[in-house]
Amino acid sequence: MRTAFIQELINQARRNQSLFLIVGDLGYSVVEPFAQEFPDRFLNAGVAEQNMVGVASGLAAEGYHVFTYSIANFSTLRCLEQIRNDVGYHKAPVTAVSVGAGLAYGNLGYSHHAVQDIGVMRALGSLTILSPADPGESRECVEWLANNPRPSYLRIGKAGEANLHDIRGIANGPIEVKRSTGKIAIAATGSILSVALEAAKLAEEKGIGVSVYSCPWLHPVTPDFFAPLRWFEHIFALEEHMPYGGLASILRDAPLLESKVHSIALNPEPPASVGSQRYLRDMSGLDANSILNRIVSLS
Amino acid sequence: MVASAKASHIGGALSMADLLAALYGGILHVKPEDPRWPLRDRFILSKGHCCTALYAALALRGFFSIDELKTYGQEGSRLMAHVSHAVPGVDFSTGSLGHGLPHGCGRALAAKRKAEPWRTFVMISDGELDEGSTWEAILFAPQHGLDNLIVTVDYNKIQSLGNVEDVLELGPLSDKLRAFRWSVREVDGHDHHAIHRALVEVPWERGKPSCLIAHTIKGKGVDFMEDKLLWHYKSPDAGQLEQALNQIGCPG
């Protein structure tokens, strides 16, 4: 996803002279092509995220649309008040980009797990929040942001994710990736959409129809944004995030959905052992078999 | 303003009043009739709690009516008690310390990248030199050759809950900033001519940001406020207000 991100950013920067990329001393083997092609619109701010966002807000006040790039929580929580005041309050066109959404940096440990970011960024109220599931969605998110500069947060995965669908329209509502006749849906945000599709397939083998939706667009939403989900009796909100403030909360806040949402999220207790993204998902019940069991228990 | 809104921070407003007078009296290139004039010098007040002094300077320069100052801190007023970009002539809202200098670095960098001639001035307090974000920006500015960035430090030596030397001593401040590759001068922050002489010559060294450390007195000009931590918080009553206005030679 990070490769798709940088390729699309370069693509957009070729037509849009205002795009600027600041990195917080991270992005090795990712951001170099942008830096080489647009040296006047690239900056390594060093390991100083508060200043990075402050500088971004100053550049934004002078006409740039600035993307601030770092990993995990460094581009969000480390400089939270700068995002709130310097960016959100001033309506500055700054997009905070976090690479390694959820558990993507699994074995690097809890410091590198971005699992509260959606809730925290959403609580600010002033940011558009986008959380793509695959490289294709990432490209569309970058394209949309470049055309709609505003305070925003882009939460992307790492590298090597497969494309899961080719449907466009991130701003129109949840994306129906798999249609089924049953009254059960899984709505997922981020790369864990792939697990939602696996679980739906397992359910189908047991004769249970499950539709799957990708939710790259998280905030802000109109009252009818999630209307396509109203038809279902049960909606599983699947996310690599704490159960607070993320996708489950967003869906429960949507009109007519509150009582139908079942959260499949991370255990609030930080993991005591390390492991890959897959291992940590399994430990938290964010794997296809665990999801299948929850679906079966409803039927 | 402070008295009628029963607000705080008059001490830090008075300590930087002479600096603002020098800046708005002949240093900053601004057009009150066109507050967003693209070629204006940018001014960022990082010690946003002391905005009464800036609002007064802007009103006196004609950015808005002097009458509007009476609305400071009142219901529905745009004159917020921490400096607000809703006010004509204000480029950036602050209030949480340590935000002004990073933002100013971004402005100055933008001017460099676009090869534009305007400059960015940032007023910071001594207290916010405790903030890590301020030092991140102090590292950043010389790295990028921001000689179009000018910082004035209102060094009144009293911070929010005590004397600077008793909380987190900053000295030797000039030496520290020079070691961080800044061009530094010190001045009596109440000597208009000295302030003007220093600021009219910036940048003092090509390729380096300039920092004017202005030695000031909190509550300057009102004997019962001078050097008193109390006036970081207290709002003058009617009698104190009259006495203060008499002392600074200003009709109520």
d(CA A57, CA B163): 32
**Residues of B102-119 as b/e, b for ≥16 C-beta within 10 angstroms?**
bbbbbbbbbbbbeeeebb
Is the same domain home to A26 and A91? yes
Domain match, A202 and A114 both: no
d(CA B81, CA B83): 6
List of chain A residues whose C-beta atoms are within 8 Å of the C-beta of residue B110: 58-59, 61-64
CB contact under 8 A, B103 and A40: no
Whether A142 and A190 share a structural domain: no
Tokens 């701003």 sit on residue = A171
Q: Are A13 and A7 in contact (CB under 8 A)?
A: no
Last residue of a domain, one of A156, A189, A204: A156
What are the phi and psi torsion angles at A67 (to 5°)?
-100, 120
Average pLDDT rounded to a whole number, residues B175-199: 98
CB contact (8 A) between residue B105 and residue A55: yes
B248 backbone dihedrals φ, ψ, rounded to 5°: -95, 5
The overall average pLDDT reported for chain B is 97
The bridge status of strand B158-159 relative to strand B162-163 is: antiparallel
Task: Identify the pLDDT of residue A248.
Answer: 98
A24-A30-A31 Cα angle (round to 5): 55
Same-domain status, A243 and A132: no
Contacts of B120 in chain A (CB under 8 A): 58
Strands A19-23, B210-215: pairing is: unpaired
Reported as a single tens digit per residue, the pLDDT across A222-251 is 999 999 999 999 999 999 999 999 999 999
What pLDDT was estimated at residue B252?
56
* Cβ–Cβ gap A55/B103 under 8 Å: yes
Supply the mean pLDDT for chain A: 97
Q: Report CB contact under 8 Å: B99, A86.
A: yes
Measured CA to CA, the distance from residue A232 to residue A185 in angstroms comes to 7
Q: Is B136 within 8 Å of A48 when comparing Cβ atoms?
A: yes
**Mean pLDDT of the A169-193 span:** 97
Position B250 confidence tier, pLDDT thresholds 50, 70, 90: confident
Measured distance CA(B89)–CA(B63) in Å, rounded? 6
The nearest CA of chain A is from the CA of B103 a distance in Å of 4
Per residue in A76-87, pLDDT (tens digit) is 999 999 999 999
Interface test with B, best of A53, A62, A67 (most B CBs within 10 A): A62
Give the Cα separation of A62 and A79 in Å (integer). 21
- Between β-strands B210-215 and B183-188, what pairing exists: parallel, antiparallel or unpaired? parallel
Could you write out the DSSP letters of every residue in A113-144?
A: -B-SHHHHHHHHSS-EEE--SSHHHHHHHHHH
Contact B110 A85 (CB under 8 A): no
Q: Would an 8 Å CB–CB cutoff place B133 in contact with chain A?
A: yes
Shared-domain flag, residues A107 and A234: no
Q: How far apart are CA B173 and CA A30, in angstroms?
A: 40
Mean pLDDT of B49-59: 97
Choosing from A156, A185, A217, the residue where a domain stops is: A156
> How many structural domains comprise chain A?
2
What is the predicted pLDDT for the residue at B45? 98
Are residues A187 and A290 located together in one domain of the fold?
Answer: yes
Given A43, A51, A81, which is nearest B137 (Cβ)? A51
Quick: pLDDT tens for A204-216: 999 999 999 999 9
Residues in contact with B192: Cβ distance below 8 Å, sequence separation at least 6, in sequence order: B18, B21, B22, B25
Domain layout of chain B by residue ranges: 10-247
Q: Tokens 């921001």 — which residue?
A: B146
Measured over all CA atoms, what is the biggest interatomic distance in chain A, rounded to whole angstroms? 59
Domain range for A131 is 2-156
- Measured CA to CA, the distance from residue A77 to residue A142 in angstroms comes to 21
- In a shared domain, residues A183 and A121: no
**pLDDT score at A113:** 95
**A39 is a domain residue:** yes
Which residues have a Cβ under 8 Å from the Cβ of B170 and sit 6 or more positions away?
B126, B129, B155, B164, B176
Does the distance separating the beta carbons of A56 and B101 come in below 8 Å?
A: no
Please report residues of A whose CB lies closer than 8 A to that of B133. 50-51, 54, 82
Spatial contact of B30 and B40, defined as CB atoms under 8 Å apart: yes
pTM beyond cutoff 0.95 = yes
Contacts of A40 in chain B (CB under 8 A): 113
Site of tokens 């400071």 = B72
Alpha carbons B233 and B13: distance in angstroms, whole number: 12
Distance (Å, whole) CA A181 – CA A201: 13
Q: What percent of chain A has pLDDT over 90?
A: 98
Task: Name the one residue in this structure whose structure tokens are 């509007």.
Answer: B68
Q: Is residue A162 part of a domain?
A: no
**CB-based contacts of B27, cutoff 8 Å, min separation 6:** B41, B121, B196, B199, B200
Instruction: Answer yes or no: do A152 and A179 share one domain.
Output: no
Residue of chain B whose alpha carbon sits nearest to that of A17: B114
Chain B residue numbers with beta carbons less than 8 Å from the beta carbon of A63 are 110
Please state the length of chain A.
Answer: 299
B10-247, which class in CATH? alpha beta
Provide the residue count of chain B. Answer: 252
Residues A129 and A206 in one domain: no
Residues A114 and A255 in one domain: no
**CATH number for position A234:** 3.40.50.920
CATH of the domain at A38: 3.40.50.970
Do A148 and A243 belong to one domain? no
Two tokens at B78? 């745009």
Domain end among A128, A156, A184? A156
Contact flag A82-B113 (C-beta cutoff 8 Å): no
ipTM for this model? 0.98
d(CA A128, nearest CA chain B) in Å: 21
DSSP codes of every residue in A71-90: ETTTTTGGGHHIIIIIIIIT
Q: How far is A133 from chain B (nearest CA, A)?
A: 32
B106-139 confidence digits (pLDDT tens): 999 999 999 999 999 999 999 999 999 999 999 9
What does the alpha-carbon distance between residue B74 and residue B88 come to, in Å, rounded to a whole number? 18
Is the Cβ pair A58, B102 closer than 8 Å? yes
Residue A7: closest CA among A93, A136, A105: A136
CB < 8 Å from A in window 56-95 of B: 85, 91-95
